[in-house]
Amino acid sequence: MDNRPIGFLDSGVGGLTVVREFMRQLPHERVIFVGDQARAPYGPRPAEQIRKYTWEMVRFLLTKDVKMIVLACNTATSVVWEEIKAELDIPVLGVILPGASAAIKASRLGKIGVLGTQMTINSDIYRQKIQSLSPDTEVTSLACPRFVPLVESNELDSSLAKKIIYETLQPLKGTIDTLVLGCTHYPLLRPIIQNAMGPEVKLIDSGAETARDISVLLNYFEINAARDAAEKHHQFYTTASPEAFQKMAESWLGQRIEVEHVKL
Ligand code: DGL
């Protein structure tokens, strides 16, 4: 048993898609979340900057005595997961491997599409992971740089969001049977993405898949929190305005939360 919290990080509110699924699956675990909204989006930034910012969030989470860290950000995972995993002596999870293996399982025709930020797509990491597990699978990757700003400005269902998503996904239509939402912000746009692709395309939420893997790791290391652990107290931090973050987070998580500003 280990009643310490689990740390989650992302460039912004996208990581909450992982946290929501995690809280649903493991309601007795405690969450510490940090989102670097002041410097989001990470997708268009150079790798060295993403590396530096991600390490700053990791160091902050370590001051909270976390028992595990989840990089709830594909962009950060693609740049710095291996390095962080090698340096820390607590388990560190990324979101890419769980999404890649779920996509292989879901695909009937072996035609998988991957959506992600410019950095995630440039890194080619999804194609490499998918094809290392399943060499015959065709992978078509598409960077969607206009999606994260939509989410961060809470444009989840506007006509602008619909227009941008339909236009961006046009080249993928009819070419794939499974689509990986390879950015933790994208599940917030899921209904429009599903409409744009059509009902026959299976969407994979890499965040939800990661939540399942967290549970496996907690069991493996025997570090689950006790079910009767003292009052759970989740903590959320943002590098930007706590009010704006709180509004989006409470509506997405469906519960009241406390948010504090943090300077990294
Ligand atoms: N949510 C992040 C991801 O999964 C990053 C988005 C961004 O800041 O560009 O890639």
Task: Answer yes or no: do 202 and 102 share one domain.
Answer: yes
Q: What angle do CA 32, 36, 38 make, to 5 degrees?
A: 140
104/138 Cα distance (integer angstroms): 10
The domain in which residue 252 lies consists of 6-94+208-261
The answer to whether position 121 is within a domain reads yes
Per-residue pLDDT tens over the stretch 163-214: 999 999 999 999 999 999 999 999 999 999 999 999 999 999 988 899 999 9
Q: Is the pLDDT of residue 6 over 60?
A: yes
Task: Answer yes or no: do 51 and 113 share one domain.
Answer: no
Task: Answer yes or no: do 164 and 88 share one domain.
Answer: no
Closest CA to 74 of 19, 21, 10: 10
The answer to whether position 138 is within a domain reads yes
Q: Which of 167, 183, 206 is the last residue of a domain?
A: 206
Per-residue pLDDT tens over the stretch 48-94: 999 999 999 999 999 999 999 999 999 999 999 999 999 999 999 99
15/34 Cα distance (integer angstroms): 9
Residues 6+ apart with CB under 8 A from 139: 112, 113, 114, 126, 127, 130, 131
pLDDT at 229: 61
Task: Answer yes or no: do 240 and 139 share one domain.
Answer: no
Band (24; pLDDT cuts 50, 70, 90)? very high
The answer to whether position 235 is within a domain reads yes
Per-residue pLDDT tens over the stretch 239-250: 999 999 999 999
From the list 23, 70, 72, 73, the catalytic residue is: 73
Q: How many domains does the chain have?
A: 2
Task: Answer yes or no: do 86 and 114 share one domain.
Answer: no
pLDDT at 223: 96
The answer to whether position 1 is within a domain reads no
Q: Is the pLDDT of residue 123 over 80?
A: yes
Task: Answer yes or no: do 106 and 70 share one domain.
Answer: no
Please state the atom number of ligand 1 nearest to the C-alpha of residue 15: 1
Please state the atom number of ligand 1 nearest to the C-alpha of residue 41: 8
Chain-centroid distance, C-alpha 130: 18
